[in-house]
Structure 1
Amino acid sequence: MLELRNLTKSYSNERRVLDRLSWIFEPGEFVAVMGDSGVGKSTLLNLIAGLDQPDPTDEPAIIVDGTPLASLDDDAATRLRRARMGFIFQAFHVLPHLTLQQNVALPLLMNGLPQGRELDMLDAVGLGGRGHDYPHQLSGGEMQRVAIARALVHRPALVLADEPTGNLDPDTANSILQLLHQELKSSGATTIMVTHSPAAAARADKVLRLTKDGLQVTTVVNPATQ
């Protein structure tokens, strides 16, 4: 579903955070990526999303459903990102001037899909009946629930989650992780979750550690035990 080949990324200060990284993520796999701060975890998500570009060395490639991102122009890359990917951010990025229903419906509107599923997703994340509320009426955990609903409403094939519980208290984080795991397994999306939290990583099928030497499997979790 997602293949990475020879990804290298350096910043303007010549600090290299990724060095010829290669990996294959299987369809429907829920993978947690851990690692020390500054090792390039968020950079990796930005590269996969096409929001940043790898260094032009060693013929790097990011291949989504058989399509190399580098073969797409900006418009085509944007269309693929809108249709095939869902994003869950640590800072939520819920739009304050839109209702919860409008926030969750955005991917449907942007992809020209029928509306209505946004109400089902609000129900699924425990916010049924609150579609006309605004983000300022929500707690942090509730806003993260809206972000999850929005990320999954258009049934993306690939979900990228960057520290989705980083700003939440332990009880709320556990509730969000349970919800996220349930919804992702139901949708069958391939998911890559960057996290510092062992509790969050334990929800995944596989835990990878990102180091200067690339991605390394540290734990394979049996989904039946979760």
Structure 2
Amino acid sequence: MLELRQLNKSYASGHPVLRELSYTFRAGEFVAIMGDSGVGKSTLLNLIAGLDHPDPGPAAPILVDGIAMASLDDDAATRLRRERMGFIFQAFHVLPHLTLLQNVALPLLLNGLPQERASQMLAAVGLGGRDHDYPHQLSGGEMQRVAIARALVHRPALVLADEPTGNLDPETAQAVLQLLRAEISASGACTIMVTHSQAAAAMADRTVILTRAGLQEAPHVKRFAQ
């Protein structure tokens, strides 16, 4: 589903952050990426999404469903993100001037899809009957639920989550993670979650550690009892 081939990325200063990174993520699996601060975890998500560009190197360092991200112009990359990807951010990025229904329906609207599923997704994340509420009426955990509903409403093939529980208390974080896992299991999306939390990583199918030497399996992370 997602393949990295000798991916390199340096900061503007010229300091390398990712070197010769190669890895394959399979369709339908939930993978957690852990690693020290500054090692490039969020940078990697931005590169996968086409929001940032790798250093010159192999012709196709990032392939999404066999499509080389480097071969796409800005418009084509935007279309691919809009149609094939869903994003969950630590800071939620729920739009304050839109209702919950409008927030969740946004990917459907942009993709020209029927809007009915937005209300169904709000119900699925435990916010049924609150379609016309606004984000300022929600707790942090509820806003993250809206973000999950929005990320999954258009049935993306790839979900990218950057520290999705970083702003939540442990109890709320666990509930949000259980919800995320249930929803991606139902949709069959490949999900990549960057996290510093062992508890969050334990919800994934497998965990990999990003180091300067690349991505390495982390079999020691205790799995969540499903």
Q: TM-score range by the shorter chain?
A: over 0.9
- 1:59 is displaced (CA, Å) by 4.0
* Runs of 4 or more above 2 Å deviation: 57-60, 219-226
Separation in 2 of the partners of 1:153 and 1:58? Answer: 34
Partner of 1:199: 199
- Quick check: 1:20–1:58 contact (8 Å CA) kept in 2? no
Separation in 2 of the partners of 1:221 and 1:38? Answer: 21
Partner of 1:17: 17
Q: Which amino acid aligns with 1:126?
A: G
Unmatched segments (≥5 aa) in structure 2: none
Q: Deviations over 1:9-64 (max 9, x none)?
A: 11122221100101010010100000000000000000000000000024451111
**Matched length:** 226
Q: Deviations over 1:41-93 (max 9, x none)?
A: 00000000000000002445111111111111111111111000000000000
Q: Which amino acid aligns with 2:43?
A: T
Q: Which amino acid aligns with 1:57?
A: G
DSSP 3-state at the match of 2:37: coil
Q: Deviations over 1:124-143 (max 9, x none)?
A: 00000001000000000000
Unmatched segments (≥5 aa) in structure 1: none
Q: Which amino acid aligns with 1:66?
A: G
Separation in 1 of the partners of 2:130 and 2:146? Answer: 11
What does 1:10-89 correspond to in 2, within 5 Å? 10-89=10-89
- 1:170 is displaced (CA, Å) by 0.5
- Quick check: 1:6–1:59 contact (8 Å CA) kept in 2? no
* Aligned-residue RMSD, C-alpha: 1.4
Deviates more, 1:9-18 or 1:106-115: 9-18
DSSP 3-state at the match of 1:9: strand
Separation in 2 of the partners of 1:180 and 1:92? Answer: 14
Q: Deviations over 1:138-168 (max 9, x none)?
A: 0000000000000000000000000000000
Q: Could you tell me the percent identity over the aligned residues? A: 74
Separation in 2 of the partners of 1:56 and 1:28? Answer: 30
DSSP 3-state at the match of 1:219: coil
Separation in 2 of the partners of 1:9 and 1:92? Answer: 26
Separation in 2 of the partners of 1:223 and 1:170? Answer: 17
Name the TM-score, length of structure 2 as normaliser. Answer: 0.97
DSSP 3-state at the match of 1:112: coil
Partner of 1:163: 163
- Quick check: 1:205–1:221 contact (8 Å CA) kept in 2? no
Instruction: Work out whether 1:218 is the aligned partner of 2:218.
Output: yes
Q: Deviations over 1:74-133 (max 9, x none)?
A: 111111110000000000000000000000000000000011100000000000000100
DSSP 3-state at the match of 1:21: strand
What does 1:137-176 correspond to in 2, within 5 Å? 137-176=137-176
